[in-house]
Amino acid sequence: KGRGAPRGVAWYDPDRDSSQKARLSMMSELRGGLKNGEVKFAYQPKLDLESGKITAVEALIRWISPSRGFVPPDDFIPMAERTGDIRHVTDWALRQAIMQAADWRARGLNLAVAVNLSTNDLMNQNLPAQILALLREHDLPAEFLKLEVTESAVMHDMARALDVLNMLSAMGLALSIDDYGTGYSSLSYIKKLPVGEIKIDKSFVLNLAKSDEDNILVRSTIELGHNLGLSVTAEGVEDEDSIGRLREYGCDVVQGYHIARPLPPAELEEFLKESEYG
């Protein structure tokens, strides 16, 4: 890209070099953090509007690094996807979520845990066998693990993704399309996928109380989803007014700060005990 450089040959760029170094050192700290307990999950309740109960939670990764402090997932997950370190994140996430769900179940708390997967995971033909082994190891029925995948992860290589998703679905895992509405695709391709749920992206849900346009989009997405036999979740529900509208539109499940923030396991258990939703 440098002036006068032969085509295809990049000049040495010290900025790029140092940012590359910074990325690599962050990723090696992350790998360490996954082993030494710096990385944990926070669990955000998913409220079923029909029953009024919380029957599932979404596991969201939390990294508190001794040198960097709290590092938001959006600051390291995309990077880990580029470097391939996401494999370590997913290995950790699946084990952690399955252990937690099994522990809750052993204590009489039946909560399904939803784990976020990335593009690379859907390209990994060994993922289903890996998950099966973990479920067996922890004696957890498949219905207690749910997986969330984005449209763009599926579209990256639909044929390969379908292979993996079909295996996971055959194992009895519930699959969701996450961030629905942010991609280019329409609901028509979702018919081809073994998914039971779409999650309407929070960008459409956050302004329900204010934006007529978002109300139309959300309402029609719920209708289309139902016509395809899918359950519809809305994420990013921040006020009571939005819950009322979503209920009116027939939305099945809601998730957002108004119900609860993502919580550490002990706080989640406390919340479920005290809340009418528990």
Positions that interact with Ca ion (CB under 5 A): 116, 148, 178-179
- Any contact of residue 74 with ligand C2E (CB under 6 A)? yes
Per-residue buried b or exposed e for 153-192, using 16+ beta carbons within 10 Å of the residue's own CB: bbeeeeeebeebbebbbeeebbbbbbbbbebeeebeebee
Task: Using CB under 6 A, pick the residue from 238, 239, 267, 269 that binds ligand C2E.
Answer: 238
CB of 251 to ligand C2E, least distance (A): 14
- Any contact of residue 181 with ligand C2E (CB under 6 A)? no
Note the helical H segments in the chain. Answer: 14-36, 73-83, 86-106, 119-122, 127-137, 151-156, 158-170, 202-205, 212-227, 240-248, 265-274
Nearer to ligand C2E, 202 or 245 (CB): 202
Nearer to Ca ion, 29 or 199 (CB): 199
- The three-class DSSP label of residue 147 is strand
Per-residue buried b or exposed e for 82-104, using 16+ beta carbons within 10 Å of the residue's own CB: eeebbebbbebbbebbbebbbeb
Nearer to Ca ion, 96 or 116 (CB): 116
- Any contact of residue 252 with ligand C2E (CB under 6 A)? no
67 Cβ contact list (under 8 Å, min separation 6): 29
- Any contact of residue 225 with ligand C2E (CB under 6 A)? no
CB of 255 to Ca ion, least distance (A): 9
Task: Using CB under 6 A, pick the residue from 26, 47, 61, 193 that binds ligand C2E.
Answer: 61
Binding stretches for ligand C2E (CB under 6 A): 44, 60-61, 72-74, 77, 89, 93, 116, 118, 178-179, 202, 235-238, 256-257, 262
